[in-house]
Amino acid sequence: MGETIVPRFRVGDSVTVRAAYPIGHVRTPFYVRGKRGVIERQCGAFANPEELAYGRPGLPPQPLYRVRFRQRDLWPDYAGRPDDVVEVEIYQHWLEAAERTR
């Protein structure tokens, strides 16, 4: 009780979404798994929906972020502007720090 998970990422950090495919209720869309993006904002912390969906408390709350992805990084053949983006809410346990240099 009262336990908290420390936010690991800050606005502007590069992150990669885990390329994991667990069964059950998951709120990380397939199309961003394994993809790299940038933290757009911190949204606070929320009970983990992957636990809530099965009647468990989902605590301690998971930090939630909005992650900005370039369309070109999601869909290599994307035809629109190179800086068009998709922004998706993702819980911290789905995120890993991306390599700094590339």
For other proteins, the binding residues (CB under 8 A) are 27-29, 31, 43-44, 46, 49, 64, 66, 74-75, 78-81, 83-91
Give CA–CA dist 56/66, Å, rounded: 25
Q: Which is nearer to other proteins, 44 or 101 (CB)?
A: 44
Minimum Å gap between C-beta 54 and other proteins is 16
SS3 90: strand
Q: Which is nearer to other proteins, 24 or 100 (CB)?
A: 24
Minimum Å gap between C-beta 100 and other proteins is 25
- The residues, any chain, with a CB within 8 Å of residue 65's CB and separated by 6 or more, are 9, 15, 39, 40, 41, 42, 43, 89, 90, 91, 92, 95
Q: Which is nearer to other proteins, 83 or 99 (CB)?
A: 83
Q: Are 7 and 35 in contact (CB under 8 A)?
A: no
Q: Which is nearer to other proteins, 18 or 66 (CB)?
A: 66
Minimum Å gap between C-beta 55 and other proteins is 14
* Closest of 88, 75, 84, 72 to residue 28, by C-alpha: 88
